[in-house]
Amino acid sequence: MTRLDQHSADRPVTPAPLDPATRKALQTLERSRPLGLARITGGFRGITGHVDPADGLALTAQGLARIDYGGRHPRLKITRAGRTALEKGAV
Protein backbone atom coordinates (compact mmCIF):
# COMPACT_ATOMS: atom_id res chain seq x y z
CA MET A 1 0.00 0.00 0.00
CA THR A 2 1.44 3.36 -0.99
CA ARG A 3 0.89 6.63 0.77
CA LEU A 4 -1.00 9.36 -1.02
CA ASP A 5 1.95 11.73 -1.04
CA GLN A 6 4.22 9.17 -2.69
CA HIS A 7 4.19 8.65 -6.41
CA SER A 8 6.36 7.03 -8.99
CA ALA A 9 9.08 9.22 -10.49
CA ASP A 10 8.28 8.06 -14.03
CA ARG A 11 4.62 9.14 -13.80
CA PRO A 12 4.00 12.85 -13.23
CA VAL A 13 1.11 13.70 -10.94
CA THR A 14 -1.66 15.52 -12.79
CA PRO A 15 -3.81 17.79 -10.63
CA ALA A 16 -7.55 17.16 -10.56
CA PRO A 17 -9.81 19.94 -11.84
CA LEU A 18 -11.70 22.08 -9.36
CA ASP A 19 -15.37 21.29 -8.88
CA PRO A 20 -17.80 24.25 -8.92
CA ALA A 21 -18.40 24.29 -5.14
CA THR A 22 -14.67 24.34 -4.40
CA ARG A 23 -14.04 27.04 -7.00
CA LYS A 24 -16.83 29.21 -5.56
CA ALA A 25 -15.52 28.80 -2.01
CA LEU A 26 -11.96 29.66 -3.10
CA GLN A 27 -13.19 32.74 -4.97
CA THR A 28 -15.06 33.87 -1.87
CA LEU A 29 -11.92 33.40 0.23
CA GLU A 30 -9.81 35.25 -2.34
CA ARG A 31 -12.18 38.24 -2.26
CA SER A 32 -12.10 38.26 1.55
CA ARG A 33 -8.33 38.59 1.79
CA PRO A 34 -6.61 39.50 4.13
CA LEU A 35 -9.34 39.27 6.79
CA GLY A 36 -10.83 35.91 5.84
CA LEU A 37 -14.23 34.57 6.86
CA ALA A 38 -15.27 34.38 10.52
CA ARG A 39 -16.53 31.10 11.97
CA ILE A 40 -20.27 31.17 12.69
CA THR A 41 -22.82 28.48 13.58
CA GLY A 42 -23.70 27.72 9.93
CA GLY A 43 -20.19 27.79 8.48
CA PHE A 44 -17.95 30.74 7.68
CA ARG A 45 -19.27 34.23 6.88
CA GLY A 46 -17.73 37.54 5.93
CA ILE A 47 -18.46 40.68 3.96
CA THR A 48 -17.80 38.92 0.67
CA GLY A 49 -20.01 35.89 1.21
CA HIS A 50 -20.60 32.59 2.95
CA VAL A 51 -18.85 29.20 2.84
CA ASP A 52 -20.55 26.05 4.11
CA PRO A 53 -18.81 24.21 6.96
CA ALA A 54 -18.32 21.08 4.84
CA ASP A 55 -16.69 23.06 2.03
CA GLY A 56 -14.49 24.98 4.48
CA LEU A 57 -13.27 21.85 6.20
CA ALA A 58 -12.68 20.13 2.84
CA LEU A 59 -10.53 23.08 1.76
CA THR A 60 -8.47 22.86 4.95
CA ALA A 61 -8.03 19.11 4.49
CA GLN A 62 -6.72 19.68 0.95
CA GLY A 63 -4.37 22.44 2.15
CA LEU A 64 -6.12 25.14 0.09
CA ALA A 65 -7.26 27.06 3.18
CA ARG A 66 -6.37 27.29 6.85
CA ILE A 67 -8.13 28.27 10.06
CA ASP A 68 -6.49 31.20 11.83
CA TYR A 69 -7.07 31.17 15.59
CA GLY A 70 -5.11 34.38 16.24
CA GLY A 71 -7.97 36.80 16.77
CA ARG A 72 -11.12 36.83 18.82
CA HIS A 73 -12.99 34.54 16.41
CA PRO A 74 -11.48 31.75 14.28
CA ARG A 75 -11.24 32.74 10.63
CA LEU A 76 -10.96 30.72 7.44
CA LYS A 77 -8.20 32.09 5.20
CA ILE A 78 -6.92 31.06 1.78
CA THR A 79 -3.38 29.70 1.51
CA ARG A 80 -0.81 30.20 -1.21
CA ALA A 81 -1.69 26.76 -2.58
CA GLY A 82 -5.34 27.80 -2.78
CA ARG A 83 -4.49 30.97 -4.70
CA THR A 84 -2.31 28.98 -7.08
CA ALA A 85 -5.06 26.40 -7.62
CA LEU A 86 -7.55 29.16 -8.31
CA GLU A 87 -5.21 30.75 -10.88
CA LYS A 88 -4.46 27.47 -12.62
CA GLY A 89 -7.99 26.10 -12.31
CA ALA A 90 -6.78 22.82 -10.83
CA VAL A 91 -5.97 21.46 -7.40
pLDDT confidence tier of residue 12, bands split at 50, 70 and 90: very low
pLDDT in the model for residue 49: 92
Number of domains in the chain: 1
Per residue in 69-91, pLDDT (tens digit) is: 998 889 999 999 999 998 887 54
Higher pLDDT among residues 15 and 37, named by residue: 37
Q: Does 5 reside within a domain?
A: no
Whichever domain contains 53, its CATH number is 1.10.10
Q: Say whether pLDDT at 15 is over 60.
A: no
Q: Does 1 reside within a domain?
A: no
- 58: exposed, middle or buried (C-beta count within 10 Å: 0-12, 13-18, 19+)? middle
Write out the residue range of the structural domain in which residue 43 sits. 20-88
Could you tell me the CA-to-CA distances from 78 to 8, 28, 41, 73, 81 in Å, in that order?
Answer: 29, 9, 20, 16, 8
DSSP bridge partners of 7: none
